[in-house]
Chain A
Amino acid sequence: AAGVIQSPRHLIKEKRETATLKCYPIPRHDTVYWYQQGPGQDPQFLISFYEKMQSDKGSIPDRFSAQQFSDYHSELNMSSLELGDSALYFCASSPDRPDTQYFGPGTRLTVL
């Protein structure tokens, strides 16, 4: 069965650069969630989208933005990268907002 796809798998950037992470939900899933997991920490909820509209907002920095496109894939744009942005970024999708979230494999971002 198709799973959540995230790209790239690994990304290395320097401080003050920008990065774009992509998430492709499971087909027919209309809700996408973004999480940030720092080393040894729980995943922190960043933002979610339902039917291409932002549905909830968590601890997403102002330097980050995200959107969900007409094909339901989502992109997380990160600007003015800081060392503290180094983390594993997970995307999850669900077929309906209160339903089970299916997690992608994550994108590991390293900021040097």
Chain B
Amino acid sequence: EDKVVQSPLSLVVHEGDTVTLNCSYEVTNFRSLLWYKQEKKAPTFLFMLTSSGIEKKSGRLSSILDKKELFSILNITATQTGDSAIYLCAVESYNTDKLIFGTGTRLQVFP
């Protein structure tokens, strides 16, 4: 059965800390892995990863995919209170044309 597992479930840090969020998956015919940030309502897109070992970077956020070990990490450096959100990982599959979400990691950043 296809599944996406994120860890930790919850993380509380102080501003300025660096955090690493993990996403592991088991999906047949993997197409891509996506990271989203969900603050209030709808998730907003962060990264799409399709190839192993290529880091995607956007400001203080970066992500990398390991297709051999079937996981991805999302790094946030110098965290700010505005980074507080739920970070969702989702995996796309070719054959079933579906997007499978993990349960998310809740990040809380305190000043």
Contact = CB atoms under 8 A, between A and B. Distances in A.
Interface of A: 9-10, 33, 35, 37, 42-45, 56, 58, 88, 90, 100-103, 105-106, 108
A37 B98 CA distance: 12
A10 B97 contact: yes
A58 B41 CA distance: 9
Contacts of A9: 96, 98
A9 B45 CA distance: 23
Interface of B: 36, 38, 41-45, 86, 88, 90, 96-101, 103-104, 106
Which 4 A-B pairs have CB atoms at the shortest separation, nearest pair first? A103-B101, A45-B41, A45-B42, A105-B98
Q: Is the interface of A mostly helix, strand, loop or mixed?
A: strand
A42 B39 CA distance: 13
Given A43-B42, A45-B42, A58-B41, A105 B86 contact: no
Contacts of B41: 33, 45, 56, 58
A106 B38 contact: no
B99 A88 contact: yes
A102 B99 contact: no
A44 B98 contact: no
Nearest to A10: B97
Contacts of A44: 42
B44 A108 contact: no
